[in-house]
Structure 1
Amino acid sequence: MDTIQTDSDDFQGMKKYHSKLVIYGKVSGDAHETVETNSNSVSTRPRSRRKTLSAESNVLENVINEKLQNILGQGLNKSSILIKYNKLSKFTIKENTPLKIIMDFIMGFLTYYSVITSLMYLGYEGPSNEQYKFDVFVWILFIIDFFLSFLVEYKDKNKIPVRNFKLIAKNYAMTWMIFDIASLLPLHWAEYPDAEYLLRLFRILKLQRLFRIVSKNKFNNLIQQYFKNEDTKMLRTIKILVSYVWNLIIQILFMLIISFTISCLWSYFAKTIRSKKHERDNFYYHFSLDENTVGEKVIKFWYYIFTTLMTVGYGDFYATNKYEMGFCILLLIIGPSWYAYAMGKSIETIRKLEDMNNVAELKTEVDNFLAVIDYHYKEIPFKLKEKIRKHFEFYFQNDKAGPLAEKYWKYDDKKELETFHNKFLAEMPKVESFKLLDVLFAETFNKFRVFFGRYCEFRFYICLHIQPRRYKSNEIIFDAENYPKEVLFLERGEVCCGRYINDVFHEFYKFKDHCAILADFYVINKVKPSGTYIAGKFASGFSIKGSIVRYVLNMFPVRKRKFMNFSMKKAALVERSIIEGAGVSIEEEKDNNEKQKLVNRKSQSSRNLGGIKKKNKTGKKDTFQEPEFRELNKQIQQLKRTNLYLTQNIIDSFSSLAKSIPKDFAKNTGDDDDENQDTQ
């Protein structure tokens, strides 16, 4: 055995550059590098000072490949590994060649013909002369197909095409060769026609050959080309419809073939018992079937087997002797169980077809729910019913998560948020499930990449919890007095943020870029928002429950830290806008109040205590008095009249008294005062 000579420098060089490859990573790029290699050293020289990661990684990958070639030689080369697979490959027939596809299509139909005619010959009567000639032609085609099977390539477990004749023959010998040889034996020449027909029934195992050529995927590709490769909702609906209808057709065809096969075998069994056991009473004699034509026999036997498998048993046909009864016991043990399984699959497919337009069915469920509420509690107002119906109608039509949605309200433990509960997602490898979700929610991830991130697994665990939301004009979304319960992602419309001042809403900030995230900071930190969020003309998008956002973010601390930095800056901007706007609005409100007070004072000075006087049609002033001042006004008017009367009496009395006083009364009074002072 030859030994591989290695150089220690090769190991050291490969280790050195492998560490660099781990650091830089492998990124495709179009930058060019100059590479110099030899057995001892390797150097990389960029053409410019600006280095790109893609160029560096490509260079390092080439270096590692060369080192591996030096260490292990050419034994790992893919071409050398596949030499035995491609020996004499020029003479093999590829699977995808048009001639091979046409041949498989023809042989697929002939397989069905061979199985059906063999059952007819076995159960009822042999072929006519014209049918025999055509059967010989079909037999020759099967012989040609048998020899061509040694020339057709196949794919191994790793999906690598194998074109080596020995390997092809070995693979064919281990799969279908024995069954094909048995079905090709012309035993009718040895006067054993029934044995030949029985051996042909091995071809039942190859009935799926036709459906590999005419598959639903190829049919969907034709539909895709018809729609000019446009990815529309109608196209996706048609593809799903084709898939379900195709599965339903396969199930129905499978049930028909199996029931037809059993009916022909039952006829063959009844004839064999009549001829070999010489039973007096048998199925043919009891129901006079010998008098019927072949077509009538086929219908009657098929009908009897169908009713037996369905466990209906109308009683018009039944087993007539112990051998037939024994056969029916086996048939009733195995047949109905299999038939129930096949019927269940068909019913499941039909239900899926009904679910294609499940919006109408879901609307019916909502109506039934409202009807139950009306019956058990009290009748709901009509406007509230319409609001509930519109909410669910929008929800059903815009549910992005769809059948993959996580039903968090059914979870007993929050740790269940760390796993997928959909049957297929749970059984898929994690990498494949992440790729699937990345394709399904690519648009959403791109729109709100600030929240979901670009490469973090956080987005895959949170995306299945989104729920559609729509708000009408001036509808309150988040109130400043309550804690927000969910994070809103705005896709269409606009949302205004502000405060109510004296029962009037003042807008201080507006979200209208159609990719806004609302109330995230308040939900994560469990605090009340600094303002009230109100929908503009309209607003729609989706939301995620706050408890789910908090839990899943805690699973990814790096993602949480990055998003919280953005969230805090945005919340600070909104809060500052609200505070500044609210301060200006309060000052304006104070100024308006002062002006209003001044106006009220001016108007008060011009009105009487009893009210404002206005001129009527006659030109006289009417006093519009308030009810509580009417009595007081009467008293004031009466007091005024009394005071005027008393004042006038006093004036009249003093005027008459003044006339009776002498003119020198004041002078005499002054002299008397002087005398009194001198005496003293």
Structure 2
Amino acid sequence: MVLRNNFFSSSRTDSRIGVSRIKKLRLLGAKINTRVDQASIFSESTKNSSRDNLTILHRNALLSDMAIDEMTSLEEIERRQQYYMKHKKYTFNPSKKIIRIFKTFMIFMVCYSSMSSLYFLAFDPKNKGAEISDSLVSLFFLADCVLTFFTRIEDKTKQKIGNLFLIAKKYAKGWLILDIASLLPLRYAGHPNIEHLLRLLRLGKMKAVFDLLNIYKISEFFTKLIYPVECLSKRKLKLKIEIIWNIIKEVLKIFFGAFAVACLWYSFVDKYLKYTDEKDNFILHFNLDQDTTVQRFIKTWYYIYTTLATVGYGDYYATNKSEMVAAIFLLLAGPTWFAFMMGRSIQLINNLQDIDGVSNKLSKLHIWISNIEGRKNYISYGLKDKILTHFTDFWKNDRLGTICIDSIDDETVVEESKDPFFKFLPGDLKRRLTEHLFSDILYDYYQFFKPLEEKKYILALYLQPRIYQKGSIMLREGDTIHEIIFLVSGRIQLGIFINETFKEYANFRSKFILGDYFFLEKIPSFLEFRALTNIRGFSLPANVLKIFLRKYRFNYSNYLAKLTGKYNRLQEMSEADITYSSHFTEINTDRRPIPSATVPYLKGKLFRGVIKCFIPRHYETTESTVKRVLEDTSEVYKNAKKTAKSTIKTLRKILIKQAKASKNMRDKILLLEGKIDSSLIN
């Protein structure tokens, strides 16, 4: 108890340690929040007075060590902060508006100074206005150099530094010497060209010019004006703005690079002419010395640009050995750089095309179709249209993009995407991203994916978009299941095909799975499925699901039990209809129509024998039989005229006589009598 009281009494004397205070400890580089409450410790020890004294002493000693460590850590942090902000009163906050405006202004000055130095180095225009503006720009750079010593900076941990010594030390390790060299007024000592060359050191700061605009904030501002609510079109527009800005940056880099090389080329030719006895050079050969400064600049820039682009029209070229050597190095380095920049620009343009449509992919698809047609005859228009429609819809509705898994084998399946970004995501982020992409599928078809547990997120990476036009057959009777379709929109009908006629049993809207029952039962389809309207959905390869079920032993018995009753009833209905149809097909196979050659023999005693040919051998009084007989007889009536009338009259008498027992049969005959002259039945 004495030790405990001494501990708390000593802790009171230190102003840094108070009652009920949260202490931030640094143990092994980790921050641990600990609450030290004097009253709670005292009350706990009073209630448990019977507890071992050694335990109490150990706990108090631990708390004492923690307090000491905390004091040491806090003191170190406080001393470091005081050292970093030692000259806080004499330094400027870089986030102040006036400082930010000045720094932005200096970025434009960097651009102007670099371009003007190149221009003056090459063409040396005698212009007092240019010299005055150049001197004024130098004063701005001098002010920026001085201001840098008094502007706070950040260390690697983003901690503010307001210590003049540390600021100067960091500046000295960076741009201080280069800034001082570029500020030397050597033109007053008779060396203007050296001054212009030293100013070219500022080219290293040109990157800040392209990073001046925060394109993400700009794109967010403009897209918010057009699309106030977050949507897919808004995201596409943002991507377009960002890619267009990147294209503009690449084009500006190409123009500036050509501008810099043109100025250096002209400076080399001009200075080389002064220090050698060369009688012919680029300037004299093309009479550039007689042109104005602007004309010389444009012609030189044109020559360099055509050389870098490897076009070279031949109107301008190197004229002596020294220029040819310089041109060789220019052709080695320049076109390589130019091709690299053009390649990046083309890649950005392709990315821009891929955002909104599938034009780039569609052109590759047309080439692929042309290659197939080149090996054999032309593909029919209908088949080609279906291929184009499939891929166009696939690219527009594909949710996975590059993270899809398309590697399928009969024995094994890949369970990891090859996408470089998705591949290195943590498992939880992969699951959340996949759930975001297919939230509707995983929710609407929860019962199907439930037995798969966490593996459903891997299977989702195999889902591919599908589209079916109205009236198209999605699954034929007797086909095996190659893919399972999850409907997203549209209506599907199912039935069987009997006597060249489709008989519908049921139709369903979305939230219907095509092929799940037949796949799980391992049987071919005994129904035909058709698209009643245009249908969109996603397909899962049956082979992939088969391997997953075999590998992980997922239990689909409960899910299959719910489907069995429905499909058993549908199977019974289809079997009954097939049996009924085959029975009457058998009866009607003996029916023989009247050939046109027997029409002349209908007169006399033979007409009764001919009439009997209309009557089935195993006659049953059915409505369909009567209808067929009357239709054939009506055709004879048209062809044989008066002779056929007596035939029809006799036929009616025979049929009525045989159908007396059936009231429905007689009613049917009376209904059909309107199609034939009633005088024949009197």
Could you tell me the TM-score, scaled by structure 1's length? 0.68
Written as runs of structure 1 = structure 2, the 5 A alignment for 1:644-655 is none
In structure 1, what is the equivalent of residue 670 of structure 2?
none
In structure 2, what is the equivalent of residue 202 of structure 1?
201
In structure 2, what is the equivalent of residue 122 of structure 1?
121
In structure 1, what is the equivalent of residue 282 of structure 2?
283
In structure 2, what is the equivalent of residue 623 of structure 1?
651
In structure 1, what is the equivalent of residue 562 of structure 2?
573
- The one-letter amino acid paired with 2:650 is D
Q: Distance in 2 between matches of 1:81 and 1:542?
A: 63
Please list the CA deviations of residues 18-66 of structure 1 after superposition, one character each: whole Å capped at 9, or x if unmatched.
Answer: xxxxxxxxxxxxxxxxx999459999xxxxxxxxxxxxxxxxxxxxxx9
Q: Distance in 2 between matches of 1:386 and 1:439?
A: 33
1:603–1:179 CA distance, 2 compared to 1 (3 A): closer
In structure 1, what is the equivalent of residue 537 of structure 2?
541
1:385–1:310 CA distance, 2 compared to 1 (3 A): closer
Unaligned runs of 5+ in 2: 1-5, 9-36, 46-62, 588-617, 638-643, 655-682
Structure of greater Rg: 1
Offset at residue 457 of structure 1 (A):
6.2
The yes-or-no answer on 1:519 pairing with 2:515 is yes
Does structure 1 retain, via aligned residues, the 8 Å contact 2:486–2:513?
A: yes
1:197–1:420 CA distance, 2 compared to 1 (3 A): same
In structure 1, what is the equivalent of residue 593 of structure 2?
none
Q: Distance in 1 between matches of 2:405 and 2:299?
A: 52
The yes-or-no answer on 1:258 pairing with 2:247 is no
Offset at residue 304 of structure 1 (A):
2.3
Does structure 1 retain, via aligned residues, the 8 Å contact 2:357–2:396?
A: no
Offset at residue 119 of structure 1 (A):
0.8
1:430–1:338 CA distance, 2 compared to 1 (3 A): farther
Offset at residue 401 of structure 1 (A):
2.3
1:96–1:543 CA distance, 2 compared to 1 (3 A): farther
- The one-letter amino acid paired with 2:544 is I
Q: Distance in 1 between matches of 2:44 and 2:549?
A: 45
In structure 1, what is the equivalent of residue 483 of structure 2?
486
Offset at residue 446 of structure 1 (A):
5.1
Identity of aligned residues (%): 28
Does structure 1 retain, via aligned residues, the 8 Å contact 2:411–2:547?
A: no
SS of residue in 2 equivalent to 1:281: coil
The yes-or-no answer on 1:471 pairing with 2:468 is yes
Please list the CA deviations of residues 200-238 of structure 1 after superposition, one character each: whole Å capped at 9, or x if unmatched.
Answer: 111111112122221332321222322354333332332
Please list the CA deviations of residues 326-366 of structure 1 after superposition, one character each: whole Å capped at 9, or x if unmatched.
Answer: 32232222222222222222232333334445434545555
1:321–1:486 CA distance, 2 compared to 1 (3 A): same
In structure 2, what is the equivalent of residue 270 of structure 1?
269
- The one-letter amino acid paired with 1:545 is P
Does structure 2 retain, via aligned residues, the 8 Å contact 1:108–1:210?
A: yes
Offset at residue 125 of structure 1 (A):
0.8
Unaligned runs of 5+ in 1: 8-34, 44-65, 627-680
Q: Distance in 2 between matches of 1:92 and 1:229?
A: 42
Offset at residue 116 of structure 1 (A):
0.9
Does structure 2 retain, via aligned residues, the 8 Å contact 1:509–1:577?
A: no
Does structure 1 retain, via aligned residues, the 8 Å contact 2:125–2:293?
A: no
- The one-letter amino acid paired with 2:416 is T
Offset at residue 603 of structure 1 (A):
6.6
In structure 2, what is the equivalent of residue 353 of structure 1?
352
SS of residue in 2 equivalent to 1:537: coil
Q: Distance in 2 between matches of 1:206 and 1:537?
A: 62
Q: Distance in 1 between matches of 2:110 and 2:123?
A: 20
Root-mean-square deviation (Å): 4.8
In structure 1, what is the equivalent of residue 680 of structure 2?
none
SS of residue in 2 equivalent to 1:491: strand
The yes-or-no answer on 1:388 pairing with 2:384 is no
Written as runs of structure 1 = structure 2, the 5 A alignment for 1:269-418 is 269-366=268-365, 369=368, 373=372, 376-408=375-407, 414=412, 417-418=414-415
1:495–1:339 CA distance, 2 compared to 1 (3 A): same
Could you tell me the TM-score, scaled by structure 2's length? 0.68
SS of residue in 2 equivalent to 1:318: coil
The yes-or-no answer on 1:148 pairing with 2:147 is yes
1:624–1:343 CA distance, 2 compared to 1 (3 A): same
Q: Distance in 2 between matches of 1:277 and 1:433?
A: 69
1:68–1:282 CA distance, 2 compared to 1 (3 A): farther
1:418–1:270 CA distance, 2 compared to 1 (3 A): same
- The one-letter amino acid paired with 1:622 is T
- The one-letter amino acid paired with 1:623 is L
1:303–1:427 CA distance, 2 compared to 1 (3 A): farther
Does structure 2 retain, via aligned residues, the 8 Å contact 1:36–1:42?
A: no
SS of residue in 1 equivalent to 2:310: coil
Q: What is the total number of aligned residue pairs between the two structures?
A: 559
Does structure 1 retain, via aligned residues, the 8 Å contact 2:526–2:571?
A: no
SS of residue in 2 equivalent to 1:144: helix
1:413–1:37 CA distance, 2 compared to 1 (3 A): farther
1:600–1:337 CA distance, 2 compared to 1 (3 A): same
Does structure 1 retain, via aligned residues, the 8 Å contact 2:483–2:539?
A: yes
Does structure 2 retain, via aligned residues, the 8 Å contact 1:508–1:581?
A: yes
Please list the CA deviations of residues 520-552 of structure 1 after superposition, one character each: whole Å capped at 9, or x if unmatched.
Answer: 465467554675544443432111212233446
In structure 2, what is the equivalent of residue 420 of structure 1?
417
Q: Distance in 2 between matches of 1:476 and 1:75?
A: 78
- The one-letter amino acid paired with 2:268 is F
Offset at residue 315 of structure 1 (A):
3.5
Does structure 2 retain, via aligned residues, the 8 Å contact 1:309–1:332?
A: yes
1:584–1:266 CA distance, 2 compared to 1 (3 A): closer
Offset at residue 321 of structure 1 (A):
3.6
Does structure 2 retain, via aligned residues, the 8 Å contact 1:531–1:578?
A: no
Does structure 2 retain, via aligned residues, the 8 Å contact 1:469–1:543?
A: yes
SS of residue in 2 equivalent to 1:205: helix
- The one-letter amino acid paired with 2:651 is T
Does structure 2 retain, via aligned residues, the 8 Å contact 1:530–1:575?
A: no
Q: Distance in 2 between matches of 1:316 and 1:548?
A: 64
In structure 2, what is the equivalent of residue 59 of structure 1?
none
Written as runs of structure 1 = structure 2, the 5 A alignment for 1:432-471 is 440-441=437-438, 448=445, 458=455, 461-471=458-468
Q: Distance in 1 between matches of 2:550 and 2:164?
A: 59
Q: Distance in 2 between matches of 1:40 and 1:613?
A: 116
